[in-house]
């Protein structure tokens, strides 16, 4: 029988969340229009540092889900999900996903108070950008004790925002088993090479460790649990982003089919177009519900998080794939041009599937979680 793991109150958008959404949408509409996004991703950093600092200091986005004892606001992931949905709506290229969600969740989940006290305040204030290595894709990284402490050797590929991150949370093999390590990379012992990827708004890098100094985070027995928790947090965060991107695509298509005329009438009045838009609306609203439930489960740290995270990933990945396809196709010839922003959303939707998997990948994960036999 289905059991509601999340607090029903977490599923309702409070007045605070509505105000946060309004403030963010106004700011991001000014700072992250299509032309500005192209300018930012073409720059050396890949994002607008001034906007990063404004979100941190004026609105406090970075610290929304960080405990107050570590310099955060002490809210929950439900509030952070609002920010992720709005940044996903405009394809904001800030390293919010890698810094606040992935690295932040790794530190909080490690239960290492010393590590949290050292690095979480910087994340919450926007002073530090961070990411994880060896969490999302298989990596070959080992840790050994050197004369001055732990050092890392090996490499991790396709590290989100890995080229410019000031802190890396790394999963590595140590003599006593897999452990988490914190590394503040330098040019001498850590080589970072930007990868040419499909989605220019979410940069990735190959990171090579050549005796890079590192500090252990947490205890070895808990490393695998932390990594899986971070992955689930990443799935939920992407679900929120995908809801925002899908909603933008739907709004853009609706605006276009009302204006565009053919045979003397708006193309949105044709029944075939209406059916496609109705199917898209149903998919987007279903994704919104799945993402909200998963965010509530993550906010409350419930046992049902793995199921909720993968279910949201299925719903939101498929909705985003459909939304971006319709975004391109229903705009006709112009939707296929590089000048139009539709292809940027299409790239984001496809590239995100490489981070945590396609909808079918999540279904395969869900099968044993809900007691069904997996595929042969």
* Beta strands at 177-183 and 261-262: parallel, antiparallel or unpaired: unpaired
| Per-residue pLDDT at 261 | 87
Rounding to the nearest 10 degrees, give the CA dihedral for residues 280, 281, 287, 290: -140
* Beta strands at 265-266 and 261-262: parallel, antiparallel or unpaired: antiparallel
| Per-residue pLDDT at 338 | 84
Q: pLDDT, tens digit, for every residue of 328-367?
A: 999 988 888 888 999 999 999 999 998 998 999 999 999 9
Query: Which own/partner contact pairs does 297-300 have at CB distance under 8 Å and 24+ positions apart?
Result: 297/5, 297/6, 297/236, 298/77, 298/232, 298/233, 298/236, 299/6, 299/10, 299/65, 299/76, 299/77, 299/78, 300/5, 300/6, 300/7, 300/10, 300/76
| Per-residue pLDDT at 374 | 52
| Per-residue pLDDT at 11 | 73
| Per-residue pLDDT at 2 | 40
| Per-residue pLDDT at 5 | 60
Domain 8-129 and domain 224-369, same fold? Reply is no
Can you identify the CATH homologous superfamily of domain 8-129? Acyl-CoA dehydrogenase/oxidase, N-terminal domain (1.10.540.10)
For residue 155, give the 3-state DSSP assignment. Answer: strand
Cα separation values, 90 from 54, 68, 157, 244, Å: 17, 29, 27, 8
| Per-residue pLDDT at 333 | 85
Measured distance CA(269)–CA(231) in Å, rounded: 43
Q: pLDDT, tens digit, for every residue of 29-87?
A: 999 999 999 999 999 999 999 999 999 999 999 999 999 999 999 999 999 999 999 99
Q: What is the pTM of this model?
A: 0.94
What's the CATH architecture for 131-221? Beta Barrel (2.40)
User: How many CB atoms lie under 10 A from the CB of residue 67?
Assistant: 15
- Evaluate whether the domain defined by 224-369 bears CATH number 2.60.40.420: no
Structure tokens at 330: 């229903």
| Per-residue pLDDT at 10 | 66
- Domains of the chain, residue spans: 8-129, 131-221, 224-369
The tens place of each residue's pLDDT in the chain, 376 residues long, gives 345 565 555 677 889 999 999 999 999 999 999 999 999 999 999 999 999 999 999 999 999 999 999 999 999 999 999 999 999 999 999 999 999 999 999 999 999 999 999 999 999 999 999 999 999 998 999 999 988 899 999 999 999 999 999 999 999 999 999 999 999 999 899 999 999 999 999 999 999 999 999 999 999 888 999 999 999 999 999 999 999 999 999 999 999 999 998 899 999 999 999 999 999 999 999 999 999 999 999 999 999 999 999 999 999 999 999 999 999 999 988 888 888 999 999 999 999 998 998 999 999 999 999 988 655 5
Contacts of 179 (CB under 8 A, 6+ apart): 143, 171, 172, 216, 217, 218, 219, 220, 223
């Amino acid at each position: 029988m289905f059991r509601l793991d999340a607090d029903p109150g977490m599923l309702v958008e409070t007045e605070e969340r509505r105000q946060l959404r309004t403030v963010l949408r106004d700011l991001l509409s000014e700072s992250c229009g299509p032309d500005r996004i192209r300018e930012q991703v073409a720059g050396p950093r890949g994002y607008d540092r001034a906007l990063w600092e404004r979100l941190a200091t004026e609105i406090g986005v970075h610290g929304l889900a960080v405990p107050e004892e570590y310099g955060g606001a002490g809210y929950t992931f439900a509030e952070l999900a609002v920010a992720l949905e709005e940044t996903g709506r405009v394809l904001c290229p800030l390293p919010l996903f890698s810094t606040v969600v992935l690295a932040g969740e790794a530190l909080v989940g490690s239960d290492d108070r010393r590590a949290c006290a050292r690095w979480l305040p910087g994340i919450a204030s926007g002073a530090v950008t961070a990411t994880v290595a060896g969490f999302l894709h298989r990596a070959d990284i080992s840790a050994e004790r050197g004369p001055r402490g732990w050092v890392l050797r090996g490499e991790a590929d396709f590290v989100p925002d890995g080229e410019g991150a000031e802190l890396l949370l790394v999963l590595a093999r140590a003599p006593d088993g897999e452990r988490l390590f914190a590394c503040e990379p330098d040019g001498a012992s850590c080589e970072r090479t930007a990868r040419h990827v499909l989605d220019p708004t979410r940069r990735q890098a190959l990171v090579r460790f050549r005796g890079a100094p590192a500090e252990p985070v947490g205890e070895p027995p808990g490393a695998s649990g932390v990594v899986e928790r971070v992955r689930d947090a990443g799935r939920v965060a992407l679900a929120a982003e995908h809801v925002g991107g899908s909603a933008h695509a739907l709004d853009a298509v609706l605006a276009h089919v009302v204006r565009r005329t053919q045979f003397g009438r708006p193309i949105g009045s044709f029944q075939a177009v209406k059916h496609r838009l109705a199917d898209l609306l149903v998919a987007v609203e279903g994704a919104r519900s799945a993402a909200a439930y998963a965010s509530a489960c993550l906010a409350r740290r419930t046992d049902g998080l793995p199921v909720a995270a993968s279910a949201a990933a299925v719903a939101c990945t498929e909705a985003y794939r459909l939304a971006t396809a319709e975004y391109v196709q229903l705009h006709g010839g112009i939707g296929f041009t590089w000048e139009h922003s539709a292809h940027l959303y299409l790239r984001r939707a496809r590239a995100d599937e490489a981070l945590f998997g396609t909808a079918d990948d999540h279904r395969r994960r869900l099968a044993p979680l809900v007691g069904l036999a997996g595929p042969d």
